[in-house]
Amino acid sequence: MSAVTDLIPHRPPFLFVDEIVAESADGLTARRAWRADEDFYKGHYPGAPITPGVLLCEAVFQTGALYMARQAQAAGEKPGEGVPLLAKISDVRFRNPVFPGDEIVIEVKKKEALGGFTMMGGAVKKADGTRVLTVDFAVAWKTPESASPLKS
């Protein structure tokens, strides 16, 4: 997991990528196993738990951030300065549910980069090849202008 946490700022319990399994100049493939003991399953849905679609999308977005960080490394830059900020989500299509215990394969492909934004397409499949979702999205790697710690 350190190969993932060395590249992006996400941490458990909001880290939804276990490992990078392949990469190319225009994309990256990652993996995630959904554990039955994850807290959100207690409420989504009790007695018939299903992985929330928003978390499946987040796994894709985190994989996109990993792709951008690896591209920065390849260009001789240091990843980890700033955060990946989601700028756009479109054309999300859910095809099949993901259940506790399922393993997914997450793929992202770069479509284009323009004005500091990287547009990508993402897909999730179960380990057996069953299609789960597709989504188009855009990310910018930025240092937030105002990042204040939470106050109690």
Whether 137 contacts 88, CB under 8 Å? yes
pLDDT at position 80, please? 60
Whether 110 contacts 137, CB under 8 Å? no
Into how many domains does the chain fold? 1
pLDDT at position 142, please? 87
Share of the chain above pLDDT 90, in %: 83
Given 5, 27, 38, 44, which residue is catalytic? 44
pTM to 2 decimal places: 0.92
Whether residue 79 lies inside any domain: the answer is yes
Whether residue 150 lies inside any domain: the answer is no
Question: With 50 as the cut, is the pLDDT of residue 58 above it?
Answer: yes
Whether residue 147 lies inside any domain: the answer is no
Whether residue 118 lies inside any domain: the answer is yes
DSSP state of 14: S
Whether residue 148 lies inside any domain: the answer is no
Whether residue 57 lies inside any domain: the answer is yes
- The string of pLDDT tens digits covering residues 74-96 is 988 876 678 899 999 999 999 99
Whether residue 25 lies inside any domain: the answer is yes
CATH at residue 65: 3.10.129.10
Question: With 50 as the cut, is the pLDDT of residue 152 above it?
Answer: no
Sign (positive or negative) of CA dihedral 136, 142, 145, 148: positive
Give the span between the Cα atoms of 105 and 92, in whole angstroms: 17
Question: With 70 as the cut, is the pLDDT of residue 124 above it?
Answer: yes
Query: Average pLDDT of the chain?
Result: 92
Q: Domain limits at 82?
A: 2-142
Question: With 90 as the cut, is the pLDDT of residue 145 above it?
Answer: no
Whether residue 152 lies inside any domain: the answer is no
Give the span between the Cα atoms of 122 and 27, in whole angstroms: 9
Question: With 90 as the cut, is the pLDDT of residue 36 above it?
Answer: yes
State the pLDDT confidence band at 33, using cuts at 50, 70 and 90: very high
- The string of pLDDT tens digits covering residues 127-143 is 999 999 999 999 998 87
Question: With 80 as the cut, is the pLDDT of residue 150 above it?
Answer: no
Active site residue 44: yes
